[in-house]
Each structure stands twice: as structure tokens, then as C-alpha cells.
Amino acid sequence: MVGTASTVTAFLLVECEGPWGIDAMRDSRLPQEVKRWMRSREGIRPLLIRRGPTKHPRVFLSRGGRVTTIELDSITQLPDIDLEHDPSTYDGQLFLVCTHGRHDVCCAERGRPLWKELQRVAPDETWQVSHIGGDRFAANVLVLPHGLYYGRIDPDDAESFVETHRAGQLDLDHLRGRSAYPFEVQAAEVFLRRELGETDVRPLPIRDSNGVRTTFEVGDRAFEVEVERRTTSEVLTCRSDAAGAGWTFHPVAVREVRGHG
């Protein structure tokens, strides 16, 4: 799973009841003008969220390690929202579980049981979310504001997963990657953290990177991580039995860089 998080730096989450269809942005019951507005937000990935009937849909924007939110009287108000000024700061975390079964059955079969458990543990922070990528790694969870993608989390993991994040720590066993980074850098971060046992949720400063090699600063030390990308042939979704082209990342070397600072 390492190095497979979608590369996204900003997320727009819009609460939408009812069925989402195969493609949520195309098939949901949102008004067409709202869909067009969501798609037109440059550099922001739109996702749909839900957790039950609502009269006042919530909207969240996650960008730059910060989440803002606003509650609407009607979803038709959304195109009139000024995302830079209208929403207020949201101080909590968001646990977004992909349950988009019409897109891929894995997300329903494995995502919904996890969502129920996470909702029991963290009801105010947990939402169902439309397709976020990596169906074969279900159950998938996106944690904001940090932009962390997790996969293959079981319902029995729910309580410890929430406790870990509330303590400001990472679950390295299930971490797919940090979405703000390219795939190779995502993988390099996970490999380095596993090597050092470094679980602080805050991103490690990056001194430089050429993709294959990335140098991270860890306190007053620095480490260069070299990764190798290998192509694979595997079944990529639960809705297909046919193998497709994929990839995996493997650590080549983790070296401490001397003379840092």
C-alpha cells in the first residue's frame, strides 16, 4: 500500500444525502449548477460526504493543514460561498471512510462496518466519503487536516486508530501515504518513519528530493531515503477480475546525512 495515496493538496467536502451512483460527481442528486461549481475549483478535489438525514448540509475545505467549515440552509447556496472568507475554522480532525459501494463493492463490504465502528468511537468526526482511490486497499480512511490516506483497517482497529490520531501520532502499519507528496516521497516518508519509529503526525521537513532520493530533516538530524519503483500486474479493483498495471515501492537505502546544519 505504501506510496499509493492520491496526490491532492486541498479537499472540498460537500454533504450529500441519497445515492451517489458510480461516479458521485456525475450521478449524485446535487443540482447541476452545484456540480459545475465544485468541479471548477482549481487545485481542489471535490468529494461527497454523508452520515444521515440533514436539513442543513455541511461543507468543509481542507487546505494547508487547516480545515474550515460552513453550514448551509440549502445546497443551492454553495456556488455563492466565498471559500476564502465565509467558512469558520474547524478545530477537530475528520475521519473519512470510503463507503462508495456503487463505485466498487469492496468499499461497501469493508468500508461500512469500519464506518459504523468509527462513528461509535468518534461520532462528530466520522463521515462516509465518496471514492478516494485504492479500492483494493479497503477499508480506506482519509484523515484531515493532515491529508493522510490509510488502508486495510478493520473494524476492530477503530478505537485504537482514533486514539492514536487524537494523541497526534501515526498508524504506520496502515499508512498509505501523505497526499500532499508525490508517490515516491510518500513511500520514502513511511520507510524512514518505520526505520526510526518516528510517529509524530506532523510532516517531516524535506530538504531536497529528486523522486528517487529524498532527504528529510528529523530534529537536528537528516536522512536520505532512496526508493525503487517496481511495476506489477495485479487486480486493482473488486469489480474486476482482470489484472491491471500497478506499482509497488521498495526501500533501497536509508542513510543519515552527516554535517547537517
Please count the residues of the chain. 261
Tens of pLDDT, residue by residue over 149-178, are 999 999 999 999 999 999 999 999 999 999
Where does the chain hold its CATH 3.40.30.10 domain(s)? 10-166
CATH architecture of 10-166: 3-Layer(aba) Sandwich (3.40)
Residues 9 and 63: beta-carbon distance below 8 Å: yes
Q: What is the grid cell recorded at 138? A: 479497503
Residues 14 and 38: beta-carbon distance below 8 Å: yes
Q: Is 154 left (phi over 0), alpha (psi -120 to 50) or beta?
A: beta
Task: Give dist(CA 39, CA 9) in Å, integer.
Answer: 15
Tens of pLDDT, residue by residue over 5-26, are 999 999 999 999 989 999 999 9
**Is the pTM for the entire model greater than 0.85?**
yes
Residue, of 84 and 79, whose pLDDT is higher: 79
Phi, psi of 51 (to 5 degrees): -155, 5
Q: What is the grid cell recorded at 99? A: 463507503
Tens of pLDDT, residue by residue over 176-212, are 999 999 999 999 999 999 999 999 999 999 999 998 9
